Each structure stands twice: as C-alpha cells, then as structure tokens.
Structure 1
Amino acid sequence: MAVTKELLQMDLYALLGIEEKAADKEVKKAYRQKALSCHPDKNPDNPRAAELFHQLSQALEVLTDSAARAAYDKVRKAKKQAAERTQKLDEKRKKVKLDLEAREQQAQAQGSEEEEESRSSRTLEQEIERLREEGSRQLEEQQRLIREQIRKEREQRLRGKAENPEGKGTPKLKLKWKCKKEDELKGGYSRDVLLRLFQKYGEVLNLVLSSKKTGTAVVEFATVKAAELAVQNEVGLVNNPLKISWLEGRPQGLEDPRHPGLSQRGSLPLGTSTQEEDRSHRFELWKQCASKLLSSPLPHLESPGVSEPHGPAILGFGFKSFGQAIGLLALAVTLSLPTLTPFRSWAHWEIALSASVELPQEAKSPGPL
C-alpha cells in the first residue's frame, strides 16, 4: 500500500470516530460499524463508497499495528504542535514565519522541527510498506466478518420470502396493553423492554410504539417462524399482560396440534381473527350441550353416586360406566371454561350425568383434553 500525502494529512482517529487513546478492541469495533455502513456491496449507487471503505481499511491497518501507530502519532503530534504555535502568532509574526518557511523550502534548508517531521514521515511510510508486504491478517479477518454478516442478512431475507410465499411482506404483530395517557412509564413497556421481550424469538426488523394511541405498538420480524413463536409464547409483564394479534404476514392453514380446527394459540377457531369471536363460538357450542343436558326429564337421585337403576340413563350417552359419564361431563366443562355458572350445585351435576341426550355433532369430537 503506497503512502500518499492524503494519508499523512488525514486524521485517522476522526475518520473512525474514536479517541486518540482508544484500545485495539475499540478501533476494530469502530471499523466494523463504519465499514458496514459504507461497504460497496451495500452502497452500489455511491461512487465514494469504495474510496471511503479503502480509507477505513488503511486506518485499521495503521492503528492496530503498534509500530505504525506510534509513527503516525508522532507525525500527528508534530503537526498539531506546529499548528498550535502558528495559531498563537499574531498576523504580522505569522506572515514573517510563513515567508521564512517559504524561503527555507526554496533554499532546501531544513529546520530541526521539519527534519524531525520528515524522519517521522519516512518511518510511517516504512511501517505501512511493511504491513503491505506482510499482509494484514487483522484487516482480512475484519473484512471476512463484514462479508459473513452481509451474507447472513441476505439469507435471512431470502428465508423470510420462502416462508411467506404469499407475498404478504414481513410478518408484523400488533401489541396492546393497559396504559393511561398520563402514565410516563407507558404501562411498563418502553421500546427497550419490548425489544428485550421479542428479540429472543428471532431477529426484530422494526418496532414502533404508537404516538397517538397509548398502549399500542407494532413489531416486525424477519421470519414467520419468529413471529409464530412470539404469538404462541409471549405474555409480557405479569402485572400488565400483552395482547398479541397478527397484523400482517400470518401463515394460512395453521392448526394447534392439541385441538384440530383451532389456531396455534389454542384459542381461535380457524376462519376467525379475534379472541372475542373465539369466546362467542365456544359459548354457543356450550349452550347447545347445556340445553340438551338440562332439558331432559330425569329420575330423582337419592345420593351423589349413580346407582344401578340409572344405568340405562347413562347408557343413553353410549357409556357403560360412571367414569365414562364423567368423561362426557368433562367435555361440557371444557367447552364452557369461561362460563361455569350453570354447574353451581350437585343437582345440576346429577342432571348432566343422567340425561339421555344426543350431543351436537361438533361437541362429540373435541380432541384430547
């Protein structure tokens, strides 16, 4: 790598945005951040991207090699001291100094300070040439990491398209929670808190908190799988749970293996989109079961047990034992979990156990309990 006057004039620390005393680890971190933003592969329309990327590479080579950095610091310090001295001179003395320096340059006369600067410059040139001949393993490693990160980002985008072939875009979820307008803590959910909750499921491309409606946000995932995991598992803070719903990119035909016909959250029937519709669906189904169970004429039962004479009533269900009758009752209970008020006395349980009815077809195969 040939040394140019531009390199000697550049402030490599300012180029990387770091302090003069920055350690090698900070230098490498700053290089990665700057190089990612101006990499030619990510900025094909910017003609200066390649030049800036090359300058960053030179800065990394110089500042991560102790000898080269020491030589550069010496040149930089000399220039800084010279600039400070020049700045302190008044206009008249400054003009005299500049005229003197011009005459000295014309006469090939070198002052001690200028000669020291020249020696430092030659040392820096030699160190940079040595780096070029030996090859900078650190530069190659950092550039390899840059290429690897770009490759992973490209693969994630392609994988997201493959998982969502309907072309609905990246999956987005709508988040809601209780929050008063005057609540400065926003119900406990800041942007950092929400990111910490959802990043464990996969890459979060974007997260936007609504500025108009408090207690509302939208989170965008890189992949459908990450969004599915968040919908299935995330509940938010214990004292202020989250309500999560699909906003965009929801996969079609998704079923809960525990209850076929329900979504993977186990609460929404296929074809519906809200928990209110789910509750209405289960309540209507429960009313059909309860209506038939409670409307049949019943014999009087003397005790909580089911005696032999009532066997035919149990057999009317298609069951041969008290345990099987309990299984039918469990179906009705399962379907009516949000509304168990009809089963508030033993008389109601007797009615449910001994009625000979035909259940609605949908209630006969509820899936495993």
Structure 2
Amino acid sequence: MKMSAAKFSDANLYELLGIELEAEQAEIRKAYRKKALECHPDKNPDNPKAAELFHELSKALEILSDASARSAYDKVLKAKKASELRNKQLDSKRQKFKADLEQRERDALYTLFSKQPYPTAPKSDEEVLQDQIERLRREGSKLLEEEQRLMREQLLRTVAETQKTKAATSFDSSAHRIKIKWKAEKKDPNNGGYTQEKLQNFLKKYGELVALVMSKKTGSALVEFQTLDAAEMALAYEKGLVENPLQLEWVTPTTTKAAEKPTSSSLDYEDLVMRKLRQAEERKKLIAQMQAEDEAEG
C-alpha cells in the first residue's frame, strides 16, 4: 500500500504510539510492539479497523525509526502545530487576510519560476516528507520486518501456551494416578536411596506434577502428572537409580488418549471447578489410606 505524506502529516504518530516527541528508539520499538500486539489482525479477525490500525502503527514505526524520515516528519509536525497555534490567535478577518496573502505569495512564486528554467522552486516540508516516505517504500524496512517476525513468534507462543493450558485443565489426573515401587528394607533410613526430592527430580523432566505422595512404608509412592503425555512417558522411560530401579504402573487401568479428548461440556467452568474439588478430596482420602496401611503394618 502506497503511503501518503498528507495522511501522515495530518496524524500525530507520536500520539498514535503513545510516546513523547523526544522518545528514544528503544521506547518507540517497545510502544509499537505493545500496541501492535493488541490490534494484530490474527488476534482480531472480526474487526476490520484492527487491520487498518495495525498498518498505521507499522508505518509509524517505519518513519520514526529512520533518522531522515523522522526529521522530515518532525519538521512537518512542528510547522503544523505552530500554524494551529497562530490560527487560534487570529480572528476570522485576519485569517482570511492571511490566506489571501499566502495565496498571492504562491502565485508570485509560480509566475517567477514558470518563466525561468533555473532555479527550481524549493520543495515544501510535505514534499520532502513524501520523498522520504517513497524512499522507505522502495528500500523496505529491515527493522519493521524484524519486529513483525518477533511478533508472529510471540503470537504463536501465546497460542501454544493457551492450548497447553486448556489441555491441562481438561485432564483428570486423579484417573491416571501412577504407583511407584522400589526395593527397600523395612525401617531403612535411606528408603532404598529415594527421597521426595530425588523422586521429583526423576519425574518432573516429563512434565509438571500435580501431586507426589511418599508412603511412610518404605519403597512406595504415588504420583499424578498434569498431562496424560507426561504420565505415559514416565511409565515408558523412567527407571530411577541404576542400582535400585523404579517400577511404575497405573493404580487403575487407564483409558486411551482418544477417550481423553474433552467435550465442550467438560470445559465448562463449573464442571472444571467441581472436578478439581473432587480430585482434592480423593487425594486426601488416598493419603489417609496410605497412612492407615503404614500404621497397620508397623
């Protein structure tokens, strides 16, 4: 899309980005990144104004990040502000007189330079800005390309994190509890070489843990993962200490991944809250049960 100097001389690019006239390059880029992410067309597919604003922000960055273009723009902007200030101080008659005088000056210049091949008429501030904008269009802005590449990457990360969060909240970890066993003599102070921290270090590399319960009875623990993938990988690959391997198995036979796909109702807020409460109660009962078994065997 071809840029117009008139369009950008009418707009205040500093106000568009929410920065001061003296802003440094780092401030300009930071402001652009923040506002452009908010109105990115991918995040606002149903809002046609978002795409227009995103384009204006991109052009603002392109102009203000180029020293020559910014200088030309600043000159136009300051002249416009000075003109507005003067016009406020003039009454209607003086404004008309001023407009007539400026028109006569332009007519005189046109008459003068139309009769002589040299010198050519000096360019106005708007024309200088237009030249700079055309130069930017021809050359392209590497800075703008880099900023938009970083923005696309950030948007992809946001989408991935959102999907990961949805998957985690729809997964019922209590239905995929894993029992862990290893060799340990009764009342072994070293518990066969395993502690809560050591078990966590072995298991957390597969994913976030929801709960890890060490039994008072040596050689036993239970774990719940935040995702099914993490639980299945731990079952398949984790062996623990070479000298005293771990044995991992489901507490109850688990379902397939296909059965784990959430329905729309399973993502409802109330259903999610109730499920989390049930899981917490089940874990309390499980801990109490393990403690009772330990005491009975002790």
Partner Cα distance (1:144, 1:271) in 2: 42
Partner Cα distance (2:156, 2:94) in 1: 59
Check conservation: 1:57, 1:139, Cα contact below 8 A: yes
Q: In the TM superposition, what is the alpha-carbon distance from 1:52 to its structure 2 partner?
A: 0.8
Q: Deviations over 1:123-147 (max 9, x none)?
A: 2122222222222110001101110
What pairs up with 1:134-283 in 2 under 5 angstroms?
Answer: 134-166=139-171, 228=209, 255-256=212-213, 260=220, 273=281
Q: In the TM superposition, what is the alpha-carbon distance from 1:66 to its structure 2 partner?
A: 0.7
Partner residue of 2:78? 77
Distance 1:272 1:108, change over 3 A: same
Q: In the TM superposition, what is the alpha-carbon distance from 1:84 to its structure 2 partner?
A: 1.1
- Aligned amino acid, residue 273 of structure 1: E
Check conservation: 2:215, 2:290, Cα contact below 8 A: no
Partner residue of 2:25? 24
**Secondary structure of the equivalent of 1:22?**
coil
Q: Higher Cα Rg: structure 1 or 2?
A: 1
Q: Deviations over 1:318-357 (max 9, x none)?
A: xxxxxxxxxxxxx75xxxxxxxxxxxxxxxxxxxxxxxxx
Partner Cα distance (2:137, 2:44) in 1: 26
Partner Cα distance (2:70, 2:285) in 1: 68
Q: In the TM superposition, what is the alpha-carbon distance from 1:157 to its structure 2 partner?
A: 1.9
Distance 1:134 1:150, change over 3 A: same
**Runs of 4+ in structure 1 displaced over 6 angstroms?**
274-283
Partner Cα distance (1:82, 1:35) in 2: 31
Q: In the TM superposition, what is the alpha-carbon distance from 1:256 to its structure 2 partner?
A: 2.5
Distance 1:131 1:271, change over 3 A: closer
Check conservation: 1:71, 1:123, Cα contact below 8 A: yes
Percent of residue pairs identical: 42
Q: In the TM superposition, what is the alpha-carbon distance from 1:61 to its structure 2 partner?
A: 0.4
Q: In the TM superposition, what is the alpha-carbon distance from 1:104 to its structure 2 partner?
A: 5.8
- TM-score, normalisation: structure 2: 0.56
Distance 1:108 1:139, change over 3 A: farther
Structure 1: unaligned runs, 5 residues or longer: 169-224, 229-250, 265-269, 287-330, 333-359, 365-369
**Secondary structure of the equivalent of 2:213?**
coil
- Aligned amino acid, residue 151 of structure 1: L
1:42 pairs with 2:47: no
Partner Cα distance (1:258, 1:153) in 2: 39
Q: In the TM superposition, what is the alpha-carbon distance from 1:96 to its structure 2 partner?
A: 2.7
Q: Deviations over 1:149-174 (max 9, x none)?
A: 11001111222333344489xxxxxx
Check conservation: 2:3, 2:133, Cα contact below 8 A: yes
Distance 1:271 1:126, change over 3 A: closer
**Secondary structure of the equivalent of 2:44?**
coil
1:3 pairs with 2:11: no
Distance 1:257 1:152, change over 3 A: farther
Partner residue of 1:245? none
- Aligned amino acid, residue 281 of structure 2: S
Equivalenced residues, count: 200
Partner Cα distance (1:67, 1:278) in 2: 71
Q: In the TM superposition, what is the alpha-carbon distance from 1:19 to its structure 2 partner?
A: 0.2
Q: In the TM superposition, what is the alpha-carbon distance from 1:263 to its structure 2 partner?
A: 6.5
Check conservation: 1:16, 1:34, Cα contact below 8 A: yes
Q: In the TM superposition, what is the alpha-carbon distance from 1:122 to its structure 2 partner?
A: 2.0
Partner residue of 1:319? none
- TM-score, normalisation: structure 1: 0.46
Using CA pairs under 8 Å that are at least 6 residues apart, name the structure with larger relative contact order, 1 or 2. 2
Partner Cα distance (1:75, 1:142) in 2: 26
